[in-house]
Amino acid sequence: MLPKKQEISIRPMFGNLAAFVRGNLSVGLYGEDLFVRLAEPDRVELLANNGAALFEPMEGRKMKEYVVVPRHWRSDPNKIRPWVARSLEYAGRMPAKAKKR
């Protein structure tokens, strides 16, 4: 589902896999959930959908830029693709993260 671009890398995160754009976390899996990192207007729009929620990997520790895509969308990839694209685009506008030594 992810485009093959040099600036996108797949790495382990939260015990699953996640996509990073130039070192910035963008899209990932957490258990049965798919989460995406979005700009504020996109977050508001996605959260208006039944089943969407702020990503909370630990109780009480919501990650404010990340939204869990409704689980019932898994049967319809066409609903998910635009949100993944928005997430990759948003992360791509961020400054590249310096690699840790």
pLDDT of residue 3: 64
SS3 44: helix
As a whole number, mean pLDDT of residues 52-67 equals: 95
Q: Name the band, by pLDDT with cuts 50, 70 and 90, for residue 99.
A: confident
| CB neighbours of residue 69 within 10 Å | 23
pLDDT higher than 80, residue 4: no
Distance, CA of 30 to CA of 33 (rounded, Å) = 5
Distance, CA of 54 to CA of 11 (rounded, Å) = 22
pLDDT higher than 80, residue 13: yes
The domain limits of the chain are 8-92
| pTM of the model as a whole | 0.91
As a whole number, mean pLDDT of residues 61-77 equals: 95
